[in-house]
Structure 1
Amino acid sequence: MERVVITGMGVISPLGSEVDVFWSRLKEGKSGITEIDTFDCSKQKTRIAGLVRDFDAEARFGRKEARRMDRFCQFAAAAAEQAVADSGLRLEQIDRERAAVYVGSGIGGIQTLLEQDRLLRERGPDRISPTLVPMMIANMAAAMISIRLGILGPTLAPVTACSIGNTAIGEAMRLIRSGAADVALAGGAEAAITDISLASFANATAVSTRNDEPSRASRPFDAGRDGFVMAEGAGILVMESLSHALRRNARIYAEVTGYGASSDAYHIVATPPEGTGAYRAMKAALKEAGLQPEQVDVISAHATSTEVGDRSETLAIKRLFGEHAYQVPVTANKSMLGHMLGAAGGAEAIALVKSLQEGIIPPTINLEQPDPDCDLDYVPNAARPAEMKIGMSNSFGFGGHNAVIVLQKYME
């Protein structure tokens, strides 16, 4: 059975659209949350988000090509091309029938849909773009990556809500491990910060309304947390079989050794208070990796900054890790990034790879008054150096989807 390694990374995020910039700001504990100024949200209960500010689609793709892609698809294509360039992979020199794209989006092209709906109401059906449907559907990020890069193998767009990135990475790992592919691009993309999305989440009391203090709004595990903060972007990895990577003398960042998935079978949006689904996914990921809980050196938590979610994830970690739960550092990237929804898992996997590489754990910022029920070591407010070989990353999504991956330092 093939070992699976990570050889390239690409990110588009509220903290920057290059991996080095993204990672530097995470280590510094910078917040990417700001007031929304891209459209009028003065009537909204929440008026803050993690916006991608340094992305010019027309400059990257040209005006004609950019106009044929929804923003989520632009992010995905840019992150994928960045990851391939980082990997040094020469696509013209590989068997492209044995290369795959596993990239999903939770909501897809909602911005295009809303723009075209407005046009329909204002100017009638004759003005609707014939490309509305292909721009809107959630599989188009994977499809566009395949088209732009000439990848001929399996193309899959998993839709598991906010666990998409980990689902894609885990399923791609299994594809390569089985011998059915040599290379896969895996991750997720999202661009859903719209009037209607904000209103829906706000009316569900799921998002923070700390509008006067955007940078302090996302506060996982803090007693004063009042919901997550929407964000956008993309995170994509180049994954290869170890034998393929070695044949081309690739730089290897880390190894993907475990993946666990489960369903809560509980509620369309709520998390089971005891974190039972999260526990099963983490347990399955460690089993596939052939590891015991006490071997894990760091956990990248899902930790969206919701009251029940953070508490239930803490309980799940305690149940699986026992006394070791109090010894293993737990970090929450969403305190800085906000919740990138379907893009979160990919971006957080990149952060975990960099952690293992450099021996630095990014902080959980805004943790000022810990919730008494959240009593683990969450690396509060300042990055921490640490010796690490094995990391776990958690992602959970609406509908009760849970996906967990285990990454390890590469050892020959």
Structure 2
Amino acid sequence: MKRRVAITGLGAVTPIGNSAPETWNSLINGRSGVGHITTFPLQNQPVHIAGLVKDFDLTTYVPEYRMRRYLSRGAGYGVAAFMQAMADAQIPPGLYQPAEKGVVIGCGVQYPELERMLAMLYQIETTGGKQLPQCAPSDVLIRSHNVGMATMALLGECQGPLIGISTACASSAHAIGEAFRCIQDGDARVMVTGGYDAMTSFIDVLGFTLVGALTSAYNDDPQKASRPFDRDRSGFVLGEGGVVIILEEWESAVSRGAPIYAELVGFASSLNAYRMTDAPPNGDGPIQAMARALKDADLKSEDIDYIVAHGTSTPSNDSCETTAIKAVFGSDAYRLAISSPKSMTGHLTAGSGALNMLAAVYALRDQIIPPTINQDNPDPRLDLNYVPNVAQKRPVRAAMVNAFAFGGTNAALVARQVTN
């Protein structure tokens, strides 16, 4: 028999707040965290904007330098979110054995900063390629996607399942799903999950620009740039941050009187097998993930009240996602509330699915749907309720979280209100 799974802790460091409550407050009030890039010089760059974390100090969470020195910028956000989530979950020390606690995190590789890359290239050029660039051994660790989650495991005394997932923009949604399965199957009683990323470096911004994925139409008005489902959407905006969620085996959480936010009840994934960067116009891959997540949750389309959309603000993704929602939910699609946090934060890439789960969990708790901001000019082909610009107060019994990624990989999760 599969075990039930409770969500008992939340932590976040995002462009719109350095905690989960701050992030949620910004979401429901429609505040944008998109601004001008300050992480590298912008000369000759066509894209000048991103969602950057502000006023963040990692030493508050990891005072020990020897541990902090190996964390990339993105991993720092993730570890800080982890510390917040563990405090929020209020798990008494010693309640669970180390082997009963695990970590599954979605994250990506951190590229060297522009100055470091230029220094290495200069050294190669000036020696005619005869001398390898000098770098500290710690550079390898800083760029590794394993170090952040290993640090979480060390700080949380987690010796159970430890998995790093890198499936681009679906990474943290897949991570939450795999952590969910670990508890369902009895492999752990507590799982630390979610994701982090900081693809706001020179090489990342340049790469996504060359692919044609980023908007460059709003450099002078950054907060208007991310426009999911709007007629004038022209590409996504990169963001950065980390969101961590604590999952617990239901009976254990109830018996200790844990503050349970919601119950995680469904997960599924799929692959488009279509194109590396384009979503399938017929919605096929997302349809499979969403339909199977509903089935896994033992819910019907009429049981879902809110979909936290992947909603990237690209022409193809928003159209594909709308098509998929209509295919899965039929006439119920027009009853649903659908919104995209990316309209305010930009795209947290590997951390975006976890941010969407945060929005779903708080919506279930507070019975309010955060808006999709900048939806000023409706696209006649996209005719669902995307909660334009202003939050909507309405009943939310169950919510679906979507995450679709480059490479064609998809994930869908389902959470519902706390019931006996």
Query: What is the TM-score with the length of structure 2 in the denominator?
Result: 0.95
Shift of 1:24: 0.7
Structure 2 partner of 1:313: 321
Q: Deviations over 1:291-325 (max 9, x none)?
A: 11111111110010000100010000001111111
**How far is 1:54 from its partner?**
2.2
Q: In the TM superposition, what are the counterparts of 1:322-361 in structure 2 within 5 Å?
A: 322-361=330-369
Distance, in Å, in 1 between the alignment partners of 2:347 and 2:7 is 24
**Is contact 2:243-2:354 (8 Å) kept?**
yes
Q: Which amino acid aligns with 1:117?
A: M
Match of 2:97 among 87, 95, 98: 95
Of stretches 213-222 and 52-61 in structure 1, the one that deviates more from structure 2 is: 52-61
What is the SS of the residue equivalent to 2:374?
A: coil
Is it true that 1:365 corresponds to 2:366 in the alignment?
A: no
Q: Does 1:240 align with 2:248?
A: yes
Q: 2:257 aligns with which of 249, 255, 260?
A: 249
Say which SS state the counterpart of residue 388 (structure 2) adopts.
Answer: coil
1:8 corresponds to which residue? 9
- Change over 3 Å in CA distance of 1:190–1:253 after alignment to 2: same
Distance 1:341 1:89, change over 3 A: same
Shift of 1:122: 4.7
Q: CA deviation at 1:194?
A: 1.1
CA distance in 2, matches of 1:263, 1:117: 34
Name the structure 2 match of 1:136.
143
Structure 1: gaps (5+ residues) = none
Work out the CA distance in 2 between the residues paired with 1:382 and 1:335.
Answer: 12
* Cα distance, 1:161–1:8 mapped onto 2, change above 3 Å: same
Residue equivalent to 1:69: 71
Counterpart-to-counterpart distance in 1, 2:45 and 2:116: 22
1:288 alignment partner in structure 2: 296
User: Which residue of 67, 84, 87 corresponds with 1:85?
Assistant: 87
Give the Cα–Cα distance (whole angstroms) in 1 for the partners of residues 242 and 371 of structure 2. 21
Task: Map 1:84-233 onto structure 2 (within 5 A).
Answer: 84-105=86-107, 107-111=108-112, 116-122=116-122, 125=132, 127-209=134-216, 210-233=218-241
SS at match of 1:6: strand
Q: Is the 8 A contact 1:70 1:111 kept in 2?
A: no
8 Å Cα contact 2:70-2:141 kept in structure 1: no
- Equivalent-residue separation in structure 2 for 1:92 and 1:348 (angstroms): 31
Instruction: Give the stretch that moved more between structures: 130-139 or 236-245.
Output: 130-139
Q: What SS class does the counterpart of residue 100 from structure 1 fall into?
A: strand
2:38 match = 37
Mapped to 2, the partners of 1:3 and 1:195 lie a distance apart of 43
Aligned partner of 1:402 in structure 2 is: 410
Structure-2 residue corresponding to 1:266: 274
Does residue 19 in structure 1 map to residue 27 in structure 2?
no
Query: What is the RMSD of the two structures over their aligned residues, measured on CA atoms?
Result: 1.4
C-alpha displacement at 1:126, in angstroms?
Answer: 6.9
| Displacement of 1:234 | 0.6
Name the structure 2 match of 1:53. Answer: 54
Gaps of 5+ in 2: 124-130
Once residues 117 and 18 of structure 1 are traced to their aligned partners in structure 2, the CA distance between those partners, rounded to angstroms, is 32
1:36-79: CA deviation from partner (whole Å, max 9, x where unpaired): 12321131111000000121123432344332211111111111
Residue 398 of structure 2 is matched in structure 1 by: 390
State the match for 2:126 in structure 1: none
Task: Give distance in 1, aligned partners of 2:42 and 2:282.
Answer: 36
Question: How many residues in Structure 1 have an aligned counterpart in Structure 2?
Answer: 410
Q: How many angstroms does 1:205 deviate by?
A: 1.4
Q: Partner of 1:357: helix, strand, or coil?
A: helix
Report if the CA contact (8 A) 1:297-1:390 is conserved. yes
1-side partners of 2:61 and 2:156: how far apart? 15
Q: Deviations over 1:215-267 (max 9, x none)?
A: 00000011101100000001110000101112221110000000010000111
The 1:359–1:232 alpha-carbon spacing in structure 2 relative to 1, beyond 3 Å, is same
Q: Distance in 1 between matches of 2:389 and 2:253?
A: 37
Q: Separation in 1 of the partners of 2:215 and 2:121?
A: 32
Q: Deviations over 1:150-204 (max 9, x none)?
A: 2111100111110111101111111101111100011110012011111111121
Cα pair 2:7 2:247 within 8 Å, conserved: yes
Q: Given that residues 161 and 187 in structure 2 are in contact (C-alpha distance below 8 angstroms), is that contact kept between their aligned partners in structure 1?
A: no
Partner secondary structure for residue 23 of structure 2? helix
The normalised TM-score by structure 1 is 0.96
CA distance in 1, matches of 2:121, 2:220: 35
- Judge which range, 50-59 or 392-401, deviates more: 50-59
Whether contact under 8 Å (1:8, 1:237) holds in the other structure is yes
1:379 and 2:387 correspond = yes
Instruction: Give the direction of change, closer, same or farther, for the CA distance of 1:54–1:92 in structure 2 (3 Å limit).
Output: farther
